[in-house]
């Protein structure tokens, strides 16, 4: 599925792939899409990393791939 603009992403508990900038300009762009979701309490997009959740400023998103059935 092609990337979709972030303004079309679900803003509920749905996990999605996000790509764009990290929260601060000094951190720059993500190297690859990361799994995340909208955080209503924090009013921002957040992704999951080794240290927990952190804010990002994504520009595009994708639904998570469906696991293959074997």
- The C-alpha atoms of residue 7 and residue 50 are separated, in whole angstroms, by 27
Q: Summarize pLDDT for 11-63 with one digit per residue, the tens.
A: 998 999 999 998 877 888 889 999 999 999 999 999 998 888 999 999 999 99
Q: Report the alpha-carbon angle 28-53-15, nearest 5.
A: 95
Q: Compute the distance between CA of residue 34 and CA of residue 48 in angstroms, rounded to an integer.
A: 7
Q: What is the pTM of this model?
A: 0.85
Among 38, 42, 20, 40, CA closest to 29: 20
**Residues in a beta bridge with 29:** 21
Taking the C-alpha atoms of residue 4 and residue 17, their distance in angstroms, rounded to an integer, is 10
């Amino acid at each position: 599925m092609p990337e979709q603009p972030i303004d079309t992403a679900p803003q509920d508990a749905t996990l999605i792939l996000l790509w764009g900038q990290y929260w601060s300009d000094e951190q720059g762009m993500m190297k690859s899409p990361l799994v995340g979701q909208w955080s209503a309490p924090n009013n921002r997009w957040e992704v999951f990393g080794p240290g927990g959740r952190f804010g990002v400023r994504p520009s595009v998103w994708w639904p998570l791939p469906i696991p293959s059935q074997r």
